[in-house]
Chains A and B, each alone.
Chain A
Amino acid sequence: MPKITIQTTVNGRSVSKDVDPSLRLLDFLREELYLTGAKEGCGAGECGTCSVFVDGVLMKSCLMPAGKAQGTTIETVEGLAERNRLTVLQQAFHKTGASQCGYCIPGMVMAATSCLRGNPHASLDEIKEHLGGNICRCTGYSKIFEAVELARDVLNGSVPATALQEDAFKDSFLGANVRRLDAPSKVTGALKYAGDMTMPGMLHLQVLRSPHAHARIVSLDTSEAERMPGVEAVVTSADVPGVDGYGVFIHDQPVLARGKVRFVGDAVAAIAAETVAQARDALEKIKVVYEELPAVFDAEEAMKPGAPLVHEGNTDNICQHIPIRKGNIEDGFAKADVILEETFRTQRVEHAYLEPEAGLAYVEPDGTVTIHSPSQNITHHRHMLAHILAMPINKVRMIMSPVGGGFGGKEDMIYQGILALAAIKSRRPVRYVFTREESILVSAKRHPFVMRLRMGLTKDGRITATHMHSISDGGAYALSTPGVMRKHCILGAGPYEIDNVRIDAYGIYTNNTPSGAFRTFGAMQSLFATESMMDMAAEKLGLDPFEIRRINAMRDGAVTHTQQKLGSVSMLQVLDTLEKGSRWQPGVPNGRGATRDDLGGPGTRAPCTLGVRLRDTSDVAAE
């Protein structure tokens, strides 16, 4: 394809480049100009990480063809401030702790800059609307709002610039609001995540993934793909020299499919080529013949005799069962005045870290295989990879690149093995950057649970027995399922001292997207059930929600559900602090009547009335 010449002004400098006309503005900035502050979070204009100014207008650069930038003036996050300086807004982000993983932050800084340039007196609601197209997964947005309001006030002169300075150091650095040391690198876009890194001679990896949930691979022919332009290495499970398997607790997942695929998206083969496009073209030339197998998509179905088996050698699809037994629940229920019973269900949740998985692998002169990736567990990954590569452990080097959000989702070694094999085979550095769709398709999800919970209580609110039976769909591979079942059970009956407890959790293999580690590791699911039932019990017994929890709360020296004697227990202190701090008005759930005055006070925001306000200020009235 003939190239086009693009002449623009970028961050005050004239630029002229001959580029492929299919390039997006985002690619032009990142690949041609090495301005990697703009990130690709989704490639579809939905997350805002790629935001830049084009002729002063905030644009999502992933949606704009590079050719449209001809003759324009572009400003990126790198150009907002002079070198080694920060704008007032960037200083405000630094001051308030508005950046966490930092991956959304360049886009967030651009959107906030746009907001304040448009209106130096923007209200909080206007700020929120301006940031509405930028997703942040770490911060909960609160510190970002605080930063933009602070910058606004400094810029419009209503507070002095000294407000941007770090809080004064008192007696100790422990307990002080020391500003984040990494914030300047994040608010300026200077920090390099794995997908921003390049090396001379670097190849690009792409992976062929299974369209079937459960199928035998009858044949895999890569010969035509190997002859495609730009292809330097084709990798399959045949290239694994060592013991092929990884997983956080059970090594049941091969680096690339070995004889069969177990979920839609399972990695089958990989190609390293000179460009991403060449690697993608070559993937289409890989010939795979599949024989579809009966599949199972429901955890309870998978436990029934005769269900399709996801893993050979596993006869009941049970990946992990964890039992907890304390006291005797029959005795406990016999002592109860009321018994409640309910089934609770939770969904699969995507981690949605803004940084899609990415990595860069190469072989060092001494033969060491080095992999940069946002791995949440380089220690364990190096162990597993040494076995997979049949190499001494000190010849496998894992470098943890800045993690653009993890939440447990980057504990799984789902691509580092492929990268290592491709770097060894091609003798070149190899980079692999997931698209958002690929990330969502193949990364682990929060375990969905079905929890049957039965709780017995005396009429004065004391829990006499808790019985929870949980079944969770762990998907096609174990990943963190054993540990998630364990934490689900240990914590599931809640922070209460209960004499009689029985909990069972079953993590089940199915042909669904694998479930894995996700912030709280199974505990939020079981505690959702228990804490919902605590309120059901409060209503039934005419008690206040704080009161019923106080009656049962673990106290100093409490014995847990796993029969561990605790020392100091802060539960009551926490409840007292919260009850007072939230201005809680005691009463039975849904029974506090019209006279209550605890609603709508300090600590609440106004309900969102975006649509209404926009209509009010539009030209509708003039029509």
Chain B
Amino acid sequence: MYDDGRKKRGRGMAAGWYGIARTAAIDRAGAWAELDDGGTAKVVTGVTEIGEGILTVLAQIAAEEMGIRPEDVTIGDNDTARAPEAAHAGATRQTYMIGNAVALAAREARNRLVSVIAEKWQVPAESIQTRNGEMWAPGTNLRLTMEEAVAQCKGVGVVPVGSASFTADHTALDPVDGSGRPWQAYVFGAQVAEVEVDTATGEVQVLGIWAAHDVGRAINPRGVEGQIEGAVVMGVGQALMEDYQLDDQGRTTTPGFAKYILPTALDVPQVTSFIVEDPDPLSPLGAKGIGEPAMVQTAPAILNAIYDAIGVRITTLPATPERVLEALASKREKAA
């Protein structure tokens, strides 16, 4: 059924690993937080969304720490003159670096508020719970909305603010043997690819990808899946079609999307994600990252699947129909 003589299917897999945040250099991020009127919050940090969903993740983290709801959090996020340094939006560092900075800043703001109310209530601050817009002392009938709590806190002259810096302790590589501690958090992942190869045209279709990735702790599982699915399709492009080319004078021959071929809706495999959670012990959240790590396995898994299907090893990317046909012809030649 899956080998009609012309079209052949196969499966391949690949494993991979990745370090989280800046490489071989100490990394840091800062954040400010304030529990605001109406039981809302302001969180300020110097980096914004590049599409991965960081603003939502930060709102979830701040809401969880402060006992309010994500939609109550306003994030001031993108301005070197108005926000603390959070450095770059890259290196799979946003959730890890900025997420933890926001968690710590939000925790400080929340604790400032709680200590004022604890004094009013005459209960230990540690006993007070905050969640989903409410504050209460278990075992008592003491309960306030966060809106009331903020108002009472301000009534005694305290603005509940917090700030924090989060550090990832990385060292440079030795210039001779490369030894060093480039990251403190690592993630591991692996993917299986199933392909169909048309041996007459050389065309490869990726029909399924199964992707298992450790993310430490998934703050937003749907967001993690979105990162995996996007990375996989970028990997499909790199494995099979994308190729920026230059002529012998350094001029591009792929100047637009008519010549530079990208995966479209019709090229994408079905993607099944498995989220593995091995919490990071060195950070308050335990979360690591997924933006980049999810694309290291896709291309080799596909190329290994092509080998499984037709017994040819493509060692040059991308595995275009021309390269597949050439490899098949050379295999036939060797066999003859």
Contacts and interface: CB of A to CB of B under 8 A. Distances in A.
Contacts of B264: 131-135
Interface string A119-159: 00000000111011111011111111100000000000000
Given A264-B252, A523-B18, A570-B214, A377 B292 contact: no
Given A143-B226, A181-B55, A512 B250 contact: yes
Interface in B178-226: 178-182, 186-192, 194, 196, 205, 207-208, 210-214, 217-223, 225-226
Given A486-B23, A577-B276, A140 B231 contact: yes
Which of the four size classes fits the interface of chain B?
A: 35 or more
A604 B276 CA distance: 22
B296 A101 contact: no
Interface stretch (A229-237, A329-337, A437-445): A437-445
B304 interface: yes
Contact of B173 (A349, A523, A562, A574): A562
Contact of B307 (A495, A562, A589): A589
B152 interface: no
A377 B296 contact: no
Contact of B219 (A174, A394, A534): A174
Given A519-B291, A531-B14, A575 B178 contact: no
Contacts of B77: 400
Contacts of A411: 88, 90
Contact of A131 (B2, B196, B265): B265
A486 B49 contact: no
Contacts of B333: none
A594 B3 contact: yes
Given A100-B53, A584-B11, A379 B186 contact: no
Contacts of A213: 249-251
A608 B205 contact: yes
A483 B318 CA distance: 24
A491 B18 contact: yes
A210 to B, nearest CB: 10
A40 B264 CA distance: 18
Contact of A325 (B19, B177, B242): B177
Contact of A437 (B55, B190, B255, B317): B255
Nearest to B239: A528
Contacts of B196: 607
B221 to A, nearest CB: 6
B146 interface: no
B60 interface: yes
B234 interface: yes
B292 A520 contact: yes
Given A137-B262, A142-B268, A594-B3, A553 B281 contact: no
Contact of B318 (A347, A401, A486, A512): A347
Contacts of A96: 222
A607 B177 CA distance: 48
B318 A575 contact: no
Given A349-B238, A378-B46, A570-B214, A440 B308 contact: no
Most A CB atoms within 10 A — which of B10, B13, B91, B213? B13
A264 B251 contact: yes
A133 B177 CA distance: 50
A393 B171 CA distance: 27
Contacts, number: 469
Interface string A512-524: 1100010111011
Interface string A392-412: 001011111111111110110
B176 interface: yes
Given A403-B49, A440-B254, A175 B17 contact: no
B308 A520 contact: no
A308 to B, nearest CB: 12
A197 interface: no
A263 interface: yes
Contact of A568 (B71, B281, B293): B281
B160 interface: no
A52 interface: no
A495 B256 contact: no
B90 A406 contact: yes
Contacts of A346: 238, 316-317
A551 to B, nearest CB: 12
A511 B258 CA distance: 25
A237 to B, nearest CB: 21
Interface stretch (B32-40, B79-87, B115-123): B79-87
Nearest to B196: A607
Nearest to B198: A607
B178 A324 contact: yes
A101 B12 contact: no
Contact of B250 (A42, A297, A402): A297
A342 B315 contact: yes
A436 B256 contact: yes
A376 B245 contact: no
B12 A535 contact: yes
A349 B318 CA distance: 10
Most B CB atoms within 10 A — which of A214, A408, A495? A495
B147 interface: no
Contacts of B226: 97, 100, 138-140, 142-143
A527 to B, nearest CB: 5
A290 interface: no
B63 interface: yes
B62 to A, nearest CB: 9
Contacts of B230: 100, 137-140
A564 interface: yes
A513 B252 contact: yes
A143 to B, nearest CB: 6
Interface string B244-281: 11101111101111101010111111111010101001
Interface string B300-314: 110110011111010
A185 B256 CA distance: 28
A457 B293 CA distance: 26
Given A100-B226, A403-B50, A437-B255, A527 B16 contact: yes
B308 A592 contact: yes
Given A599-B9, A610-B266, A490 B173 contact: yes
Given A352-B260, A524-B296, A532 B53 contact: no
B317 to A, nearest CB: 5
A178 B223 CA distance: 9
Interface string B38-62: 0000000011111111011001110
A584 B181 contact: no
A100 B52 contact: yes
A300 to B, nearest CB: 15
A494 B300 CA distance: 12
B267 to A, nearest CB: 8
Nearest to A398: B80
Contacts of A512: 246, 250
A382 B80 contact: yes
B89 A377 contact: yes
Contact of A397 (B13, B59, B79, B310): B79
A100 B14 CA distance: 26
Nearest first, the 7 A-B pairs at minimum CB distance are A101-B51, A140-B229, A213-B250, A531-B300, A324-B178, A377-B88, A140-B233
22 contacts: A42-B257, A46-B256, A133-B264, A142-B226, A177-B222, A178-B60, A264-B251, A326-B178, A376-B90, A377-B90, A380-B87, A396-B80, A398-B79, A402-B48, A520-B296, A527-B300, A528-B300, A581-B210, A589-B307, A604-B269, A604-B270, A610-B266
Interface of B: 1-3, 7, 9-19, 23-24, 46-53, 55-56, 59-61, 63-64, 69-71, 77-81, 85-91, 132, 173, 175-182, 186-192, 194, 196, 205, 207-208, 210-214, 217-223, 225-226, 228-235, 237-238, 242-246, 248-252, 254-258, 260, 262, 264-272, 274, 276, 278, 281, 285, 291-293, 295-297, 299-301, 303-304, 307-311, 313, 315-318
Given A503-B178, A549-B13, 7 more contacts: A174-B60, A348-B244, A405-B50, A406-B50, A489-B178, A523-B16, A582-B192
